[in-house]
Structure 1
Amino acid sequence: MAPSPSGTSDDGHDPTHDTAEVMEHLARISAELSPRVPELTRTVNDYLATRITELGEEPTLLDLLSASIEGNIETIFHAIRHGIASDNLEPPVAAYEYARRLAQRGISVNALVRAYRLGQQRLLQAAYDYIAEDAELSVDLVPAVFQRLVDEVSEYIDWMSEKVALLYQQERDAWLANRTTARESQVRGIIEGGHIDATAAAATLGYNLAARHVAVIAWTHHSAPDTVDGLGRFTSAINAAAAAMGSPRSSLIISRDQDTAWGWISVPEGWEYEESLGDRLNATEFVHLALGSAHTGAAGFRLSHHEVMRVQNVCLAGRTPAALSSHDEPGMALVSLLANDVEGARSWVRSVLGPLAEDSEANARHRSTLLTFLRHDRSYTATAAAMTMHKNSIRYRVEMAEAMLGMELSSNRLNIEAALYAHSFIFVPGEQTPD
């Protein structure tokens, strides 16, 4: 541990934490730490994810959480470098937006404020390690500089916590006043598996729980333009999907926040998902739809919703540009389970596919051909027809892929096929493969 900030040096100098010398060093250190903001953001973000479980319940919040942390750390260093008092600062936009989103989702304000307190603790821990190793600081100045940093950060966190807590409450009140609370409460009860009075639920929701359901999630990224009427846009997209699916009834649509809506579409008994469904929708490049599988009754309502939540996780993991993704797509059900641990799944895929997993146009062609080949029972003729290519070209690509795998398909077909599906859904084009 460093000596107490109240300690006195051998030459009689008392390095109290408010001297000009201390402030000069702290300003310099803040400038040196600024390029490390992304690294510090990841450190704080990872720490919060392990301490506050509510913050990681829905993947769509994670980008905003990270942006909020980054904005706060940048603002802290900027204020220290230039000697700006908290009252003269502008709160980071992402921090305000994150507070609004938690209020809209009904996540406790305690989770929001606690995140600031724990984030402060983790940031100071990382900063102390840097200060203690700073070659330009004498030993007797370390505690004084660190104490001044603690004071500056604590003042900022206290100021910022008050602002986001107030904003949270205002947003929560407004959100509750403008949404159909009873319908959302009823939907949550069904999803959570509580006792359901089907007649009362149908009256509250205006939707028949005895029907055959396909759950749907419509969402857009928070940076997409024209998000003011998000629910109207999502309603149009879900209704268009319902019409294309031949739904005989009105869909149930619940707003989650300005970027997300949940829905349930009633489908006929004979309905089955077709891969051409997405082509029949007039979707925009900003709205994405994910579908669960079709199931019946309250249990089916719940099951399809859990499925579509996992499908959305896959879409977010892969940054997929697809307008429509479904739990019924070949391989999606399996990959959606793997996507609970995206990095673990990617590591496994690389271990199975080896060099074939690397990002290149040639590898992409070989993976696509090999997956189509496996889907067509390893028939060169059927694969050639499906891909409108010559059979010899298919044979060449398959042989090249097998050579890169270092094994024959028959020796590990299940893992190879699963890994190919996972690669197609959760790998980001252009992403670098770790060493």
Structure 2
Amino acid sequence: MLDAADPALTAPGRPPLPGWVREMAADVDLVALCERVVARDIAVAFPGLAQDDGFAGHLRASVRENLRLLQQVLCGRLPLAAVRLEQPLAFARVQAELHIPQTALQRSYRVGFVEMWRAWADRLQEVAEASDVPRAEAVRALADLTAAILDYQDHVASLVAENHARVDEALSRTRAHVRQGLVREILRGDRSSLAPSDLITLDHDLGGEHVVVLLPAVAEGAAGNLMTGLRARTGVRQTLVHPLDLSRTAVWLTVPSWTGGMHRRLLAALADAGMEASVSEPLRGLAGFREAHEQARDVERVRAAWGRAAAPRVLGHADVALEILLLRDPARARRFVRAELGPLAEDTPEAGRLRETLEASFRLGSHVGTAEHLGLHEHTVRNRLHRAEEHLGHPLPERRTELQVALRLQRLLAGAG
């Protein structure tokens, strides 16, 4: 058993936790508990950032440090007043930079500490039952444990909230922060026009033609560096880099008028840089500024459905405009695919081979080209196409357009599923 707790290590007015409770507190698996708290926090307080690995890393570091310090407080090794935070304060700054409101921050602390309390309470019950602790003593111990955890929560949540507010206030005075706020307002449709002072702050020609490049795996700083090369390759002079979160960035490239050659050079430059990028069509004016961003997001959703490993690294809106249109109603798209492909829509190796051959045949236009592309004998291609016709119940040319659309959709719907 532990020695009697030093009253100096407890909260003012709180009795020290009994020795058996402090021993119990040291026996909780913090690694497993950390993952439970992180999952709960993201699900409840930050669902929009569930796919952001960078954000999850900051959250995990914060939770890990809080668990370690809380355990030391519960074990009587650290006075509450001596708790010093590093990662939770750093995480508060990240939240301020991402414009996550205080309400979400506070909610994450509430749900996170409920998860922590549950872990220690469950362990206390196990120890009390195994050691045959009298019921009244166990109930008092649970009450004292709960009070100690709530004291810690109140202490650290206050420190984190103060830091979040301080950082948020400092950021709100910077031009970059104001600029990001203006961009978000434009994208939400809150602004139908901008005041002259806002135009000066934005420092970007809203009257020109805009192309948006969404970089799903590039942070703001790296995206800014990438723009130097893109401007040189395309002749674009005006760019606006806007962070969507810690790991995704949108970039507006604006000129008085885009030409087909400039757009092709942009796509080629992105491909040469090895970037994953979703690219809009050129669109003009303030409405075009918003719509180009929506187009890039639509393209990125197609990439996600396609599968990042299978999709081309650079996707333009024109490449997938048909898929974007048809995927507006996924249920109707699935019905269309089943009606057109019949047995070929099934998730079997045989159906997959026939779809692959059929798609290549439509795209390349000849048995010879299809065989060469797939690495097959020409007779194998003929046999597969014949089996496809048998499954479909009609000659391939009869509904060629519908089949091509269904094949493209089936690939994306399978990926989304």
* Structure 2 counterparts to residues 316-335 of structure 1, below 5 A: 324-330=314-320, 334=324
**2:290 equivalent to 1:307:** no
Shift in CA distance, 256/206, structure 1 to aligned 2, threshold 3 Å: same
Query: Residue 282 of structure 2 aligns to a residue in which SS?
Result: strand
If you compute each CA radius of gyration, which structure gives the higher value, 1 or 2?
Answer: 2
TM-superposition CA deviations, 1:136-171 (whole Å, max 9, x none): 365726534533442343233233323322432343
Percent identity at matched positions?
A: 19
Report the alpha carbon displacement of residue 195 of structure 1 after superposing the two structures with TM: 1.9
- Assess if the C-alpha contact under 8 Å between 2:361 and 2:367 holds in 1: no
Shift in CA distance, 203/333, structure 1 to aligned 2, threshold 3 Å: farther
| Aligned equivalent of 1:119, options 96, 112, 119 | 112
Query: Residue 195 of structure 1 aligns to a residue in which SS?
Result: coil
Q: Which residue of 2 aligns with 1:51?
A: none
Query: Residue 252 of structure 1 aligns to a residue in which SS?
Result: strand
Structure 2, unaligned runs of 5 or more: 1-14, 331-337, 339-344
* Residue identity in the other structure for 2:35: P
Shift in CA distance, 46/259, structure 1 to aligned 2, threshold 3 Å: closer
Equivalent residue pairs, number = 374
* Structure 2 counterparts to residues 286-435 of structure 1, below 5 A: 288-312=276-300, 324-330=314-320, 334=324, 354-356=347-349, 366=353, 369-370=356-357, 372-373=359-360, 376=363, 380-384=367-371, 390-392=377-379, 394=381, 416-421=407-412
**2:148 equivalent to 1:159:** no
Query: Residue 191 of structure 1 aligns to a residue in which SS?
Result: helix
Report the alpha carbon displacement of residue 202 of structure 1 after superposing the two structures with TM: 5.5
**Separation in structure 1 between the aligned mates of residue 147 and residue 392 of structure 2, nearest angstrom:** 61
* Structure 2 counterparts to residues 174-185 of structure 1, below 5 A: 174-185=170-181
Report the alpha carbon displacement of residue 116 of structure 1 after superposing the two structures with TM: 0.8
**Separation in structure 1 between the aligned mates of residue 361 and residue 77 of structure 2, nearest angstrom:** 63
Q: Which residue of 2 aligns with 1:226?
A: none
**2:59 equivalent to 1:80:** no
Report the alpha carbon displacement of residue 301 of structure 1 after superposing the two structures with TM: 1.3
| Aligned equivalent of 2:95, options 102, 112, 121 | 102
**2:252 equivalent to 1:216:** no
**2:282 equivalent to 1:283:** no
**Separation in structure 2 between the aligned mates of residue 101 and residue 337 of structure 1, nearest angstrom:** 34
**Separation in structure 2 between the aligned mates of residue 266 and residue 121 of structure 1, nearest angstrom:** 49
* Structure 2 counterparts to residues 9-158 of structure 1, below 5 A: 18-28=17-27, 30-31=28-29, 34-48=31-45, 55-57=46-48, 61=52, 64-65=55-56, 68-69=59-60, 71-72=62-63, 75-76=66-67, 79-80=70-71, 83-85=76-78, 86=80, 91=85, 93=87, 95-125=88-118, 128=121, 136=130, 138=132, 140=135, 142-158=138-154
Q: Which residue of 2 aligns with 1:5?
A: none
TM-superposition CA deviations, 1:22-61 (whole Å, max 9, x none): 2223333x13x6435434432343233xxxxxx3445665
- Assess if the C-alpha contact under 8 Å between 2:357 and 2:370 holds in 1: no
* Residue identity in the other structure for 1:184: Q
**Separation in structure 2 between the aligned mates of residue 162 and residue 108 of structure 1, nearest angstrom:** 15
Query: Residue 91 of structure 2 aligns to a residue in which SS?
Result: helix
- Assess if the C-alpha contact under 8 Å between 1:291 and 1:326 holds in 2: yes
**Separation in structure 1 between the aligned mates of residue 327 and residue 232 of structure 2, nearest angstrom:** 29
- Assess if the C-alpha contact under 8 Å between 1:335 and 1:421 holds in 2: no
Shift in CA distance, 35/203, structure 1 to aligned 2, threshold 3 Å: closer
**Separation in structure 2 between the aligned mates of residue 400 and residue 91 of structure 1, nearest angstrom:** 67
**Separation in structure 2 between the aligned mates of residue 42 and residue 104 of structure 1, nearest angstrom:** 22
Query: Residue 263 of structure 1 aligns to a residue in which SS?
Result: strand
**Separation in structure 2 between the aligned mates of residue 335 and residue 91 of structure 1, nearest angstrom:** 49
**Separation in structure 1 between the aligned mates of residue 251 and residue 224 of structure 2, nearest angstrom:** 9
TM-score computed with the length of structure 2 as normaliser: 0.66
- Assess if the C-alpha contact under 8 Å between 2:238 and 2:253 holds in 1: yes
- Assess if the C-alpha contact under 8 Å between 1:384 and 1:390 holds in 2: yes
* Residue identity in the other structure for 1:277: L
Shift in CA distance, 331/254, structure 1 to aligned 2, threshold 3 Å: closer
- Assess if the C-alpha contact under 8 Å between 1:214 and 1:292 holds in 2: yes
- Assess if the C-alpha contact under 8 Å between 2:59 and 2:91 holds in 1: yes
Query: Residue 376 of structure 1 aligns to a residue in which SS?
Result: helix
**Separation in structure 2 between the aligned mates of residue 314 and residue 117 of structure 1, nearest angstrom:** 36
Report the alpha carbon displacement of residue 18 of structure 1 after superposing the two structures with TM: 1.8
- Assess if the C-alpha contact under 8 Å between 2:215 and 2:249 holds in 1: yes
TM-superposition CA deviations, 1:101-157 (whole Å, max 9, x none): 221122323321232123223443466466556763657265345334423432332
Report the alpha carbon displacement of residue 183 of structure 1 after superposing the two structures with TM: 3.5
